[in-house]
Amino acid sequence: MRNYGTARRVMVTGGAGFLGSHLCERLLERGDDVLCVDNFYTGTKDNVAHLLNHPRFELMRHDVTFPLYVEVDEIYNLACPASPVHYQHDPVQTTKTSVHGAINMLGLAKRLKAKILQASTSEVYGDPQVHPQPEGYWGHVNPIGIRSCYDEGKRCAETLFFDYHRQHKLRIKVARIFNTYGPRMHPNDGRVVSNFIVQALKGEPITVYGEGAQTRSFCYVDDLVGGLIALMDSDDGFTGPVNLGNPGEFTILQLAQKVIELTGSKCTIVRQPLPSDDPMQRKPDLALATKALGWGPRTDLNEGLGKTIGYFAARLPSAAV
């Protein structure tokens, strides 16, 4: 039965994770009723602890690889470990989360005639041979490497989204998210921005993999969450896929130097082996996001790093710079 409140009922899978927790917060702020679904694989209750007493917030422990019967109007499907260290820890579970998770959430959306958004990734472009990457580029992905559980899982999820759209007329939205960082990344997340900041604040050597000449384009979390909501709210005729990220491109060595400068740390830089299939370059072409959503990032790397450093500095017990 339709509830009698006026609030839109929105489900966020992976809602206790880094991006998900910020998204839940923003949806509550604008008056939505939020159901956060998470199995706490890489997310934590701490990320949403401040929301638990909110009258329009509900937290449910559930693994999306199993069916889920709830009643909602919109679904943001973010459940999936995103850091290479964590998604490679149990690669079979990673593929199951992307593929079985997508099937279950699409089945749920189909029964409810709900709108559903998939948190896809720039990883669908693999180690790209086109630069910057527009949505029309089909990618350069190894199907059998150590990153494949994530990359191919996300690619298959996109396929499922478009087949449910074509076959069952489901209202879908697919966001291809580029490297995003900010407060509430876990200190042991393993991704580059949190690793470097935590290392610098602890005065430990910064671990640059390979020569550090590979590039990434880093988006601040608040900008990204705005993009996800703008996409969900866009006309039903617009499905994406659409790139969301920040086009400012930096080498990993430049990032290391920036973090040292902004923290004022005396730490050194050490080289570690480059993991296999590590993409050499990545930068979003944002023409579609600009045109279709009127969206673009606002926070530059210095500002975003400053806020993220402040977050970690307040939480690390031995922040000895």
Sign for the CA dihedral angle at 305, 310, 316, 320 comes to positive
Rounded Cα gap, residues 228 and 297, in angstroms: 12
- Whether residue 76 lies in the annotated active site: no
Q: Which amino acid is at 271?
A: R
Spot the catalytic one: 41, 150, 164, 220. Answer: 150
Binding to ligand UDP (CB under 6 A) within 176-195 occurs at 179, 191-192, 195
CA 250/CA 69 separation, integer angstroms: 44
Count of CB atoms within 10 A of residue 66's CB? 10
Of 309, 299, 224, 227, the closest CA to residue 264 belongs to: 309
Q: In the complex, what is the shortest distance from the CB of residue 108 to ligand UDP, in angstroms, rounded to a whole number?
A: 4
- Shortest distance, position 48 Cβ to ligand NAD, whole Å: 9
**Which amino acid belongs to residue 274?**
L
- State the distance between the two ends of the chain, measured CA to CA, in whole angstroms: 56
Amino acid (one-letter) located at 119: A
Residue numbers at the binding site for ligand NAD (CB under 6 A): 13-14, 16-20, 38-43, 63-65, 78-82, 97, 101, 119, 121, 177, 179-180
User: Choosing among ligand NAD, ligand UDP, none, which partner's interface includes residue 155 (Cβ < 5 to 8 Å by kind)?
Assistant: none
d(C-alpha 158, C-alpha 63), whole Å: 20
Q: What does the block give as tokens for 204? A: 């430990």
Size of the site for ligand UDP (CB under 6 A): 23
Name which of 146 and 230 has its Cβ closer to ligand UDP: 146
Smallest gap from residue 1 Cβ to ligand NAD (A)? 26
Beta carbons of 197 and 139 less than 8 angstroms apart = no
Binding partner selected for residue 208 from ligand UDP, ligand NAD, none, CB under the kind-specific 5 to 8 Å limit? ligand UDP
| 149 lies in the binding site for ligand UDP (CB under 6 A) | no
Q: Of these partners, ligand NAD, ligand UDP, none, which one is at the site of residue 278 (CB under 5 to 8 Å by kind)?
A: ligand UDP
Closest CA to 238 of 294, 299, 177: 294
Q: Name the segment binding ligand UDP (CB under 6 A); options: 21-29, 102-110, 153-161, 296-304.
A: 102-110
Contacting positions for ligand UDP (CB under 6 A): 67-69, 83-84, 103-104, 107-108, 110-111, 179, 191-192, 195, 207-209, 214, 216, 252, 275, 278
Task: Catalogue the active-site residues.
Answer: 150
